[in-house]
Chains A and B, each alone.
Chain A
Amino acid sequence: METVLTTHFADDGYRRIDTYRSFGGYDALRKSLSMTPEAIIDEVKKANLRGRGGAGFPAGVKWGFLPKDLSRPRVLVINADEGEPGTFKDRVIMSRGPHLLIEGIAIAAFALRVHISYIYIRGEFVREARILDEAVAEAYAAGFLGKNILGSGFDLDLTVHRGAGAYICGEETSLINSLEGKRGWPRLKPPFPASVGAFGLPTIVNNVETLADVPWIVTNGGEKFAAIGVEKNGGTRLIGVSGAVNRPGVYELPAGTNLKEIIYTHAGGIRDGKALKAVIPGGSSTPVLRPDEIDVSYDIESMAKIGTMAGSGGVIVIPEGTCMVRALSTLMNFYSHESCGQCTPCREGTGWLKKIVGRIEAGKGRAGDVELILDVCDNMMGRTICPLADAAAMPAQSFIWKFREEFDRHIGEQKCPYGNRF
């Protein structure tokens, strides 16, 4: 199978620039500098490269949103916040192949005529931030960053900027506010970051994996990348499988690999010989699936067809014997804790979901609580500044739609049949 990112990740030296270059690293940057920015963007469009941060927006199309006017500087921000529970793939790129990311950033910046860029990395990733800092210093020293890159006349500055522990800062406008030194409050759109972003300048925000794919696309051509995946969803994906599987970890697989195969073949099946109970397929905010629904192509379009998302590529596997009310309660605690509090439907809604699901789990559920949860969700969906409210409501709705009997049983028996444990 063709791998785009992880080919040399087992090699510990790969994070150093010499080893990276010995495998052809930075040749794609050299090639890019002899291309026109438009030609690079065209390849990325042909590649069907969809954003890997969660929403899956086509990268080439997003890049086209920058204004034509070049009188104001532009900014490229790399989203390395990796906060969606179940997601742990960008960390692998940053720690094992930091130059892949830096090269992708340099190529994208050249294509976008950007001279200022920041990697916004979640604050807890201290070790990864250090690895990136070292790699950035190596790239500057080798002339791949800084002034007059490889004699092309193109300049680019790249700075690693650490967040400080706030999930909401993964949302792009919140991330921009945080980068500017403010609280991480999402902004109302429009204006979109492409016209008014970081420091008031036109800004593109892309996920780590999205940009790390770019060198391969430039080297091998967009069509070849597109051919690895499926229609409208090109390339490979780093899929993180966690929870009750025999071999949890990050797997690089073609977009459109069968989800059942991901869990049973690649991740080794369910731990302790147990049966599968449920799968959260693309990070904690994506609607849950029942075992009979996982025989599906893991790509953006196919997942949408069955009412869920491939999201950020984080597959969470839930085994038989798990209390689904408790699992949902854990998620609702999280979203209520992480709501920034700006919008009433989100601040109040996530608080209510936490409270109601919590009391059902505690054996104090009331008749009508399940309907109340669905009602609260209806009042959250699509009514807020950013999608965090939806990110909380989607799991709540789907857990009830698909595991309704467990909620009813908790309320009927006035206790948790699983003894209030995972």
Chain B
Amino acid sequence: MSVIFSDTAKAEFDRLLTRYPDKEAVILPSLHLAQREFGFVSDEAIVYIAGLLGVSPAQIEGVATFYTMYNRKPVGKYHVQVCRNIACSLLGAEHLIEHVAGRLGVLPGGTTRDGKFTLSQVECLGSCGTAPVMQINDDYYENLTEASIDAILEKLR
């Protein structure tokens, strides 16, 4: 797979460069762009961004691995991230994680065989008032119950 930003992404990248006094500040936004464009942050993507910004790939790599949102490996089409922090746990998150795992037939950290779903447990999503909460790709799903989870997953299947 060739890693090269689409025209839209390249335009976004160029606009980003004008927003900071320093090129390095564009590293995080570029990694977000790369993940959106290529699905995950591959070694090739790191080399590509390093080239665009004129810094070493090792520097980009060090940054990319520090942050949990950058996937260094491919994930499923839908990344199901269930919160297991305290407010969610108090309202049954542990049980719901087991439920999702059972439904998808994968353990947390795993991807379904058809590559469609990856299941992760994450820390507080900053939506504790509507616990239990999960995030699938860019979207939040709140006040979860077994039934609502089933309906959500069914829609994506």
Q: Is the CB of B90 within 8 A of A164?
A: no
Tell me the nearest residue of chain A to B60, going by C-beta.
A181
Find out whether the CB atom of A199 lies under 8 angstroms from the CB atom of B22. Answer: yes
Q: Is the CB of B69 within 8 A of A127?
A: no
Given contact pairs A184-B66, A248-B131, A87 touches B123 in the complex (Cβ within 8 A): no
- Contact B128–A86 (Cβ < 8 Å): yes
Contact pick for A183, options B26, B66, B87, B128, CB 8 Å: B66
B54 in contact (CB, < 8 A):
no
With both chains docked as a complex, state the minimum distance between the C-beta of A328 and any C-beta of chain B, in angstroms.
10
Size of B's binding interface in residues, CB under 8 A: 42
> CB of B21 within 8 A of chain A?
yes
Residue from B26, B27, B68, B123 having most chain A Cβ neighbours under 10 A: B123
Chain B residues with Cβ below 8 Å from A241 are 129
In the complex, what residue of chain A is closest to B62 when comparing beta carbons? Answer: A183
B138 at the interface (CB under 8 A from A): yes
**A278 → chain B, closest Cβ, in Å?**
11
Q: Is B25's CB under 8 angstroms from A181's CB? A: yes
The chain B residue with its CB closest to the CB of A158 is B19
Inter-subunit contact B128/A331 (CB<8 Å): no
Interface check B5, CB cutoff 8 A = no
CA distance A184 to B63 in the complex (A): 8
Contact A166 to B67, CB < 8 A, known contacts A178-B28, A199-B21, A248-B129:
yes
For A241, give the chain B residue with the smallest CB separation.
B129
Of B63, B91, B124, B129, the most chain A CB neighbours within 10 A belong to B129
**B25–A249 CB distance below 8 A:** no
Contact with B19, one of A86, A91, A159, A338 (Cβ below 8 angstroms)? A159
B128 lies within 8 A of A88 (CB): yes
Interface string of A202-228 (1 = CB under 8 A from B): 000000000000000000000000000
Using known A-B contacts A127-B139, A163-B28, A243-B86, determine if residue A85 contacts B22 with beta carbons closer than 8 Å: no
A296 interface hit (Cβ, 8 Å):
no
Q: What string of 1s and 0s marks CB contacts (under 8 Å) between A176-200 and chain B?
A: 0011111110000000000000010
| Interchain nearest-CB distance for A198 vs B (Å) | 9
Please judge, given known A-B contacts A123-B32, A248-B129, A334-B124, whether A179 and B25 are in contact too, CB under 8 Å.
Answer: yes
Q: Is the CB of B129 within 8 A of A83?
A: no
- Interface pair A242/B129, CB less than 8 Å apart: yes
Residue of A nearest to B85 (CB): A85
- Interface bracket on A: 35 or more
Q: Tally of A-B residue pairs with Cβ under 8 A?
A: 141
Given A86-B87, A240-B129, A127 contacting B140 (CB threshold 8 A): yes
A240 to B94, CA, bound (A): 22
- Residue contact B86 to A327, C-beta cutoff 8 Å: yes
Q: Which of A166, A183, A330 contacts B86 (CB 8 A)?
A: A330
Kindly list chain A residues whose C-beta atoms are within 8 Å of the C-beta of B84: 330
Contact between chains at B21 and A319 (CB < 8 Å): no
On whether the beta carbons of B123 and A162 are closer than 8 Å, the reply is no
Q: Which of A320-337 contact B (CB under 8 A)?
A: 322, 327, 330-331, 334, 337
The residue from A182, A183, A242 contacting B131, defined by CB atoms under 8 A apart:
A242
User: Does A124 sit at the interface, judged by CB under 8 A?
Assistant: yes
Contact A122 B24 (CB under 8 A): no
Chain B 10-33, CB within 8 Å of chain A: the 1/0 string? Answer: 000000000111101111110110
Q: Is the CB of B125 within 8 A of A124?
A: yes
- Any chain A CB within 8 A of the CB of B70? yes
* A421 interfacial contact with B, CB 8 Å: yes
B8 to chain A, nearest CB (A): 15
* Contact pick for B94, options A157, A322, A422, CB 8 Å: A422
CA distance A318 to B26 in the complex (A): 42
Q: Which residues of B contact A82 (CB under 8 A)?
A: 126
Whether the Cβ atoms of A124 and B69 lie closer than 8 Å is yes
What B residues does A318 contact at CB under 8 A?
A: 90
Contact A316 B128 (CB under 8 A): yes
Asked if B126 contacts A127 (CB within 8 A), the reply is: no
Partner of A88, one of B21, B25, B126, B139: B126
A243 with B63, Cβ < 8 A, contacts A181-B27, A421-B94 known:
no
Known contacts A182-B24, A244-B91; A91/B126 CB under 8 A: yes
Interface check B92, CB cutoff 8 A: yes
Extra A-B contacts (4), CB below 8 Å, given A164-B31, A184-B67, A422-B90: A163-B67, A199-B25, A248-B131, A334-B85
- What are 30 inter-chain pairs, A to B, with CB distance below 8 A? A83-B124, A84-B124, A85-B87, A86-B86, A86-B128, A88-B129, A123-B32, A123-B67, A124-B125, A126-B138, A126-B139, A162-B32, A163-B67, A164-B68, A165-B67, A165-B69, A166-B66, A180-B24, A180-B25, A181-B22, A182-B63, A184-B67, A199-B22, A242-B90, A316-B86, A316-B87, A316-B90, A317-B90, A337-B123, A422-B90
6 shortest A-B CB distances, which residue pairs? A164-B67, A165-B69, A181-B27, A165-B68, A242-B128, A181-B24
